[in-house]
Structure 1
């Protein structure tokens, strides 16, 4: 088992080298400047689209704009925000948070391009149903000769979207916050972890075998409430420790460029650490969100791109920042022996003695389950592309089985596997988006011209 873990760690570290950092963050900066900061200039319009102002039930697709964003956020606003940030702080220090912000800002531009392309180049599965995602962007946008790149993405996606991280961290928080402290479990935790894994399999199966419509409905109801609940808890932690907030921000900026705390001044390493955790958190440039937004009911690619770009803003700039500040102001990043969700639990318990960790358990349950539901959809899309739509339900059996592996495996092995596969998925996603970026800009100019003409016509009618 240790040999497998070492192999996965070596694979992940090699995959997340400087070339991938240049592709992801360099590509994001290119999108930002090439678009003339378009995503930021049209935030108001994107909110109106999200509110359903332009929804048409007759448009092709499976779910509306709000459900598409909610389902994508159900996968991104998840354990990556609670334990992923803690892992980042444990390995890279507070400065990692700054580079997560940078990755998120450029990630907004990346999401705009990749998710616009998901609608622009929707393909059809073997049952003739419209499908979106990087594999279809490659084959429909770049041509059949590029299909090996699409297959590469789909194969990596089968493993990169497995629920093992969510299962691992959910099991850990149940054990270390609920069962062990109350004397319900003592000694070897393998069997309790296995039982928790089986329970997670049953609950997840009840939702994911219902398909994307049920996932969208469940996510649409749970995601807003989980974000509000978590934010209120962290705002309370920051209020209790308000005197430490300015110093926390100063530490983040100072450590971002010195990186003395953990990495011995290796600024390049801390940037990579921030990019890795941001990619795990908001998935900009990875391609998973493109698959979800590709299912939206719309025939306006730019409209969906504008909705999708809100993901990194909500996910990383807001939620991850709150988690990071809670861990820093309480000193949990220095005082906790735990990694991942245990560190976040320490921060909650320090600021809210007695009940803080239990509040976190409730948040973790919602975060983890919505992520478990949404990730299955990504895997079935990749499986359908590779083997045909009529066989896609077989992937869900494999998917739920791996939940048990995640529940009993070490966090090091789990993160290494997911990180490595995310790196592989980013290559086809970013390459295809960069090559097709002129198509997105041409569509954007045409779209906003139509919007201006539409507003002008309505203004004249009112007069």
Structure 2
């Protein structure tokens, strides 16, 4: 009886996710992003150098409104995006779609750079005040401040789904899987509900210490952890690629050729075709990885210390470039050159672990384990901040701490539930968060262009 129930819940969540990720959402995310790119005359790419200067603190002013620096805003946003989307998400994309899936993840990232520029500029342009009178940014605030009170249902829709989307279920699930596959099982420890529950309790304690300390503690932890974990991960993946350097060109070219041939796609067709399904898979995994258009990052960027919205938009657009164009590509190539995508049935983080074990026998998987641990834990902090912001918008800032308790309970649930259920749940909810975020952004886009013209004239 229990098995039937589990299967039906799994199927139900899968159906919900597939329905949410239909053609209308792909048009809204990719079509909307392309429209923003053309409207801005490719502005994100023209001012890449200036964005890096802003990030380095050249224009920082401690007296500007906001709570955290440009750098801390980007690292807080990146600590939620650089993580399981890059390690598990890429592995899922390749195990289902083959090398070509990576190409469509790139497309989603390039388009996502313009989307992030617009959404994060709006998060600073239309900051609102919470019930305590503190300045806040994010889609729910720019919907209310930019479009007016009559649009409040859209802001509430974002916040409600944001509370679910911010739950750390995929991160925790994959961290548990990694600890089981890499550490416990090889050392003869029996894994099951009991061991997963113990891991969940340890994570609960660790997370509680940071998230109950608020945004300052979250951004401080993220700004210290994110750069170091990215460098470690980079170093390890580059070692794999250098060890297999003769295969790198072959698979790099294959990413392009397979993107249109879809020869390695093994999932269900979309509108009767495998190419459409491969494009959808790449865009879905890209959105899960860099979260462009979903609306999470504008909540972190909206808290940045600046009175120049365009500056924060420029910093934010670096996110998808770092996240998908660099980190995801390295992961994809590591999985491809080691051949594990063809020789194993592993999925998610286990597939990436197989690639590391293949290239660095004995110790590779343990080094990946360190990265996974830091990626996951830093993501836990950022998502808790996003969820409390969504809850405070709906029921008031004085009650937002209740979200932390829901969040902590979800860690236990995620550690003891199958990966596919958790991934489909977050996929589906992300799709529903993207609808209010993108609609409001497309309507308010001309105001961002106007602001950009004024900013660059002053500069």
State whether TM-score is above 0.5: yes
Q: Is the 8 A contact 2:296 2:386 kept in 1?
A: yes
**Which of the numbers 200, 203, 207 marks the counterpart of 2:206?**
203
State which drifts further: 10-19 or 260-269. Answer: 260-269
Aligned to 1:155: 160
Q: Is the 8 A contact 2:48 2:314 kept in 1?
A: yes
Aligned to 1:461: none
Q: Is the 8 A contact 2:265 2:278 kept in 1?
A: no
Q: Is the 8 A contact 2:103 2:282 kept in 1?
A: yes
Aligned to 1:242: 245
**Which of the numbers 260, 269, 280 marks the counterpart of 2:288?**
280
**Which of the numbers 27, 30, 47 marks the counterpart of 1:42?**
47
Aligned to 1:212: 215
Aligned to 1:414: 422
Aligned to 1:21: 26
SS of residue matched to 1:243: coil
CA distances 1:151-201 after superposition (whole Å, capped 9, x unpaired):
000000010110011100000000110010011x22x51110111011000
Question: Given the two structures, how large is their TM-score scaled by the length of structure 2?
Answer: 0.97
The CA distance in 2 between the partners of 1:232 and 1:406, in whole Å, is 30
SS of residue matched to 1:274: helix
Quick check: 1:262 aligned with 2:270?
no
Aligned to 1:180: 185
User: Cα offset for 1:401?
Assistant: 1.0
Superposition pairs for residues 343-362 of structure 1, below 5 Å?
Answer: 343-362=351-370
**4+ runs of 1 displaced by more than 3 Å?**
none
CA RMSD of aligned residues (A): 0.8
User: Cα offset for 1:267?
Assistant: 0.9
User: Cα offset for 1:262?
Assistant: 2.1
Quick check: 1:321 aligned with 2:324?
no
**Which of the numbers 400, 403, 407 marks the counterpart of 2:411?**
403
How many residues align structurally?
Answer: 449
The CA distance in 2 between the partners of 1:91 and 1:233, in whole Å, is 24
Quick check: 1:91 aligned with 2:120?
no
Aligned to 2:3: none
CA distances 1:117-142 after superposition (whole Å, capped 9, x unpaired):
00000001000000000011111101
The CA distance in 2 between the partners of 1:336 and 1:220, in whole Å, is 36
The CA distance in 1 between the partners of 2:248 and 2:192, in whole Å, is 37
User: Cα offset for 1:19?
Assistant: 0.7
Aligned to 2:175: 170
Question: Given the two structures, how large is their TM-score scaled by the length of structure 1?
Answer: 0.96
CA distances 1:351-408 after superposition (whole Å, capped 9, x unpaired):
1111110010000011001101100000000000010000000100110110011111
The CA distance in 1 between the partners of 2:408 and 2:49, in whole Å, is 39
Q: Give ranges in structure 1 of 5+ residues lacking alignment.
A: 452-463
CA distances 1:188-232 after superposition (whole Å, capped 9, x unpaired):
511101110110000011101100011100100110000000000
